[in-house]
Structure 1
């Protein structure tokens, strides 16, 4: 696992600028990889393998679609929200669109495209292609075509600026909070490290890879040579404030009568940031979101629509 799991789903956006040379940062140098592991990586560099076949446990036929996401097996059986924003975004969107589906615990390595989420449609009689996997970048159209609810089509010119707030400032704050904040190491380990291996050396390696990839993405996105938590959280506060202003007193963004994909995208961050069950120790991002009651209420409305038993 050489990158934060949700990083793979960033392919739905335009390619970013060429990656800058690796830098050491002031606040994140404390998680340097141990020297023995560094020497091991030099001898045996990480490889990127081609997309995998579908998981062997994938059933051959289904009455409903299956959405493969980051989630524990227990939570998948209960249909609960994924702990990964990129997966939760599409999980919420499909529910808002009125698509009947089940969730399956998975990881990037099990995805045919190398990224989660992906969806396998329900089987159709005498149609072997009916269960061709749907990658995340085609889920919006598939959901609109197969859902029972009509969702609004928000003009792209309205979306671009506000999507940038989510994709850069808020995402950077999420990456720092989960991957780089020392106080939240336990949350990171519980979600992404411990489930992969009982070996301490493997866990140490995974932890290093996740943190290094998060640090790289933050510096690349910000264009600054060092990760500075104060700057990251200040930028996130400005982004949330701008979103609160555009939402105003309306229930949904852009004066839409019903929630759209944008509402699902914001929810994928605010819900996880406000989710007390995750056990956040560094609560700075949680406290920032709490400063904007309209965004908290927006999260609650989406939760009520998608998971009423949790609201």
Structure 2
């Protein structure tokens, strides 16, 4: 669960600050007159080849070609949700810096190029509802927000620590997925790595005076237990006949935590998650959409 923004701000879940120029590089740039440019333009090369809806997410070229799940929870959440409601799309590799909104994911709908308007993640559900006239899940169950906070706070916090602040995981997973693809410069890679870890640390310290990995794991374990109780023997959350936005939100973390392809070196969260067989089976059912 990368933090909101990106930085010396928060990591890749919430990107705008994620690609803030590191201080040493900024000091170098400050010596020269710079031009301020408008918001990033849309990626025209990708759009010129587009034949339908395009969802820009954290992924690699092979993953995009095969429609594989994104390795970023925020992107994966919306990737899954659009599949649930039956909207066809192609995934395109991107990053926060290339996004016209400063954050991933965003979607370019299949409309004439002169009317193309990117749809940011916070508007994706509304857009999807307008396309296929599906239900707005939050209105169906008042418990939605309460349980969503388990994901946004307890599980996300444990995810941030595991991905960015566990040294072995950072080198094996975060650096490979977020740092190395961003640049070939070793100096910039070093600065970006420091920036990501600082962003994750700052994010966690917003809600606690100090960071304790054991406490984060205990909180995540209790959150998994609450989600397991909520799901019960149902196939989807809140007893829905088909998976919805909350199913996508849960899957975005459970899939990546259990995905051996991520290359985790230390993965206590997977151990805690496997104590709840219904959550493991839920992840397996949702994975069939990909």
| TM-score class normalised by the smaller sequence | 0.7 to 0.9
1:72 maps onto 2:57 in alignment: no
- Name the CA distance, whole Å, in 1 between partners of 2:87 and 2:236: 20
1:219–1:227: 8 Å Cα contact kept in structure 2?
yes
Equivalent in 130, 134, 137 of residue 153 of structure 1: 137
Deviation at 1:251, TM superposition (A): 0.5
Equivalent in 291, 306, 311 of residue 275 of structure 2: 291
Name the counterpart of 2:77: 89
- Name the CA distance, whole Å, in 1 between partners of 2:102 and 2:162: 25
Q: Residues 113-171 of structure 1, C-alpha deviation per residue, up to 9 Å, x if partnerless?
A: 100000000124xx832x21111111112122224x84563435211110110000000
Which stretches in structure 1 are left out of the alignment for 5+ residues?
11-36
Q: Residues 177-236 of structure 1, C-alpha deviation per residue, up to 9 Å, x if partnerless?
A: 11111120211111011111222211110100100001111111xx21211100000000
1:69–1:107: 8 Å Cα contact kept in structure 2?
yes
TM-score scaled to structure 2, two decimals?
0.87
Which stretches in structure 2 are left out of the alignment for 5+ residues?
1-5
Name the counterpart of 2:265: 281
Deviation at 1:50, TM superposition (A): 5.8
- Kindly report which structure 2 residues correspond to 1:35-184, keeping only aligned pairs within 5 A, or say none: 40=24, 43=27, 51-60=39-48, 62-124=50-112, 128-129=114-115, 131-147=116-132, 150=134, 153-154=137-138, 155=140, 157-184=142-169
SS in 2 for 1:5: coil
Decide whether aligned partners of structure 1 residues 228 and 50 sit closer, same or farther in structure 2, where only a CA change above 3 A counts: farther
Which of 290-299 and 149-158 deviates more?
A: 149-158
Equivalent in 209, 212, 220 of residue 228 of structure 1: 212
After superposition, the CA RMSD in angstroms is: 2.5
Deviation at 1:257, TM superposition (A): 1.2
Deviation at 1:261, TM superposition (A): 0.2
Name the counterpart of 1:208: 194
Count of aligned pairs:
273
- Name the CA distance, whole Å, in 2 between partners of 1:49 and 1:8: 19
1:302 maps onto 2:286 in alignment: yes
- Name the CA distance, whole Å, in 2 between partners of 1:230 and 1:182: 16
Decide whether aligned partners of structure 1 residues 284 and 49 sit closer, same or farther in structure 2, where only a CA change above 3 A counts: farther
Deviation at 1:62, TM superposition (A): 3.6
Name the counterpart of 1:33: none
